[in-house]
Amino acid sequence: MPNDDPNPRIPASRPDRIAGWAAALGILLVLVCVASAGASVGPTATATARLGDRTLKQPMRGHDVRQLQNRLRRLGILKVPATGRFLSLTRSAVRKYQRTRCLAVDGVAGPSTLRAISSNRRACSSRRGAGGGGGGSRSPVRFSRTVTWYGPGWYGRRTACGQKLTSRLMGTAHKTLPCGTVVHFRYKGRRATARVVDRGPYARGVEYDLTWAVARKLGVISIGRAEVRASR
């Protein structure tokens, strides 16, 4: 019987159907591989993170968390094995470290805490005066700080706080303290008082950059970098 359909459908041959199924299967496999690769990026990056690459807090995990735990264990602050997981015991150990180093106590290993750990910052101390009658007055917090000094080559220039830098200027640079803040330094029996006159330092682990006059009074000119006691 003749077919009156002007556009007759020709049934697909078996080889054509097999080729179509193979193409569809190939696309599906590509999508699965892409999804698997995307899911593995996070854990891989976390596993290779080094201490200092990121802020650490509960409940993070990774190689850098294990490094942090090992540092705290060597300091005698963390008493359990390093697991690479930042849980409650690690948070408590970080808080204890922050208290003993006069840092903000929040249990989060941020840039300031990690810098202190990396530079082996010594424990600070806080003492109360024994005033009469009324519970005493709080004495200034004194803590160990790493300092450097600068001056020659910069004389005659204006500091960030507006002073003219000279060989006699008793000043110090600090990244955040307000200009004019008075800081008392002590090093091996020597004392010097300086005001914040500039911004810096920007070297890793260094808190203050002293002018030449202050460094000379403290006796740290020949050292270059020293651990001194500082109070405000």
Sequence spans of domains, the chain:
41-124, 143-231
Kindly provide the b/e burial profile for residues 186-212, where b requires at least 16 CB atoms within 10 angstroms of the residue's own CB.
Answer: ebeeeebebbbbbbbbeeeebbbbbbb
Tens-place pLDDT, residues 182-198: 999 999 999 999 999 99
Q: What is the CATH number of domain 41-124?
A: 1.10.101.10
Let me know the angle formed at the C-alpha of 73 by 108 and 109, rounded to the nearest 5 degrees.
10
Q: For residues 105 and 92, give the distance between their C-alpha atoms in angstroms, rounded to a whole number.
A: 10
Q: For residues 124 and 104, give the distance between their C-alpha atoms in angstroms, rounded to a whole number.
A: 13
Is the pLDDT confidence value at 130 over 50? no
Q: Does the fold of domain 143-231 match that of domain 41-124?
A: no
Q: How many CA atoms lie within 13 A of 121 on its CB side?
A: 27
Helix (H) and strand (E) counts for the chain? 5, 6
pLDDT band for position 7 (cuts 50, 70, 90): low
CATH 2.40.40.10: does it fit domain 143-231? Answer: yes
Pairing outcome for strands 226-231 and 208-211:
unpaired
Tens-place pLDDT, residues 98-116: 888 877 888 999 888 898 8
- What is the C-alpha R_g of the chain? 32
Answer with the residue of higher pLDDT: 35 or 229: 229
Distances (CA, A) of 195 to 87, 174, 187: 42, 10, 17
Answer with the residue of higher pLDDT: 202 or 1: 202
Identify which of 205, 202, 211 has the alpha carbon closest to the alpha carbon of residue 161.
Answer: 211
How many CB atoms are closer than 10 A to CB 144? 16
pLDDT band for position 34 (cuts 50, 70, 90): low
Distances (CA, A) of 18 to 21, 22, 27, 209, 224: 5, 6, 14, 76, 78
Mean pLDDT on 129-151: 59
Answer with the residue of higher pLDDT: 178 or 141: 178
Identify which of 231, 173, 230 has the alpha carbon closest to the alpha carbon of residue 197.
Answer: 173
